Amino acid sequence: MPEHHTGTALSLEASASSGLKSPQLRGFGGPSAPQRRLEVARLRLRHRNGTLHPLSLANLRRFQTGRRSSQPRHPSARGLRWAVLALLGLSLTACSSGPRAVRGSDEPGLDHHAMSTGLDKRDLQQMMQENMKTMRNSAVVQRWMQEDRPAVSVLPLQNETSEHIDSALNALISDIETELINWGAVKVISLQNQQSMMEEIRRQYGDGFDQTQIAHWGKQIGARYFITGKVYTTDERVEDQRRVQYYLFIQVLNVETGEILFQNKTETTKAMIRD
C-alpha cells in the first residue's frame, strides 16, 4: 500500500503516474473553479481508497485556491499589454491637458465671447464707437467745420470703476484721436508725448476735477476744445449671480469758457447668470 505524504513536493514522475496535471502546466490562468472542485473530489476519493500518489499540501492548496501559474507569460502577450498601457497613458494625458495659448486668427470669434464680467477691449470699443457716432452728427462738429479745423485735444479718461483698465483707456484715447483725424473737421493735438501734463491732469482727477484748469491747459498746448470723459459702473449681486453695467461718458468742452458743447453716455452690461 503506498505511503501517504503531506509535506513533500509532488514529483513529476508521481504526477505522471497518477494521471494528474500539475497546476503549473495548466496554462496562463490555471484551472477553472469547476475543474478545481472536481479534481479535489477525485483526490480525496483516491486518498480514502489508498491509491493517491505523494501529494504535497502546497499542491493541494493550489487546486483548492486556483493560484495562478508562476510560469512566465508569453513575451508577445506581455509586449502587447505594455503597448496598450502606453497608448492609454498618452490618451489620458491628452484629455487632461490644461489651457493652451491660441491666436485670435486661429480661433474665429475668440474676441466675441465674454470670459468674465470685467470690462474688455470689445466693450470699450463698442461704447466709444457709439459715442463718436453720436458726436459726428451733433452741432459741435458743424461748428468745427465752420471754424476751419480748430485745434482739439483729448484729455485722459477717468476710471471710476474697480477694474484695472487704465492701459485700455489710454489706448482708447488714440482711437478717439484717429476718429477725429479721419473726420477731417479738426486738427488733433495729442497729449501722448506730454507725459508731465498727462500726470498733472490725472492728479487733478484724483483731487476732484477743477474746471478752472481747462483754460490753463488749453493755452499751454494750444487747443481750443477738449474732449474728456469717464468710465463708471453699477454692480448687482444675488447669490452666485452678478450683473455689472458699465457707462462711458464723453464731453466736448470750450477751452476759453469751460462751456459743455456736447455730452453723451453709452453703456454695456456684463453678467454671470445660472443656465
Check which CATH number belongs to the domain holding 137 and give it.
3.40.50.10610
Give every CB contact of residue 249 below 8 A, 6+ residues apart in sequence.
Answer: 229, 230, 231, 232, 263, 264, 265
Task: At 270, list the grid cell.
Answer: 456684463
- Which of 27, 55, 80 terminates a domain? The answer is 80
Residue 51 in domain: yes
- Which of 33, 60, 80 terminates a domain? The answer is 80
Residue 31 in domain: yes
Are residue 152 and residue 36 in the same domain, yes or no? no
Residue-wise DSSP of 8-61: SPPPHHHHHHHT---GGGS-SS---HHHHHHHHHHHHHHHHHT-PPP--HHHHH
pLDDT value, residue 232: 92
pLDDT in tens, the chain (275 residues): 444 444 433 333 334 344 444 444 444 455 566 666 667 666 666 655 555 555 444 555 555 555 544 445 555 666 677 677 777 666 665 555 677 787 767 777 766 677 777 788 889 999 999 999 999 999 999 999 999 899 999 988 989 998 888 889 989 999 999 999 999 999 999 887 776 777 777 676 665 556 677 777 888 888 999 999 999 998 888 888 888 899 999 999 999 888 999 999 999 988 877 77
pLDDT value, residue 56: 47
Residue 269 is given by DSSP the state E
pLDDT value, residue 23: 45
Distance, in Å, from the CA atom of 85 to the CA atom of 116, rounded to the nearest integer, reads 40
172 CB-side CA count, 13 A: 31
Tell me which residue has cell 489508498.
50
Number of domains making up the chain? 2
E-only strand ranges, 103-185: 151-154, 158-159
Residue 99 in domain: no
pLDDT value, residue 260: 93
pLDDT value, residue 151: 95
pLDDT value, residue 10: 38
Q: What is the pTM of this model?
A: 0.58
Are residue 142 and residue 240 in the same domain, yes or no? yes
pLDDT value, residue 236: 82
Give every CB contact of residue 165 below 8 A, 6+ residues apart in sequence.
Answer: 119, 124, 159, 231
Are residue 263 and residue 148 in the same domain, yes or no? yes
Are residue 181 and residue 266 in the same domain, yes or no? yes
Query: Whole domain around residue 264: which residue ranges?
Result: 117-272
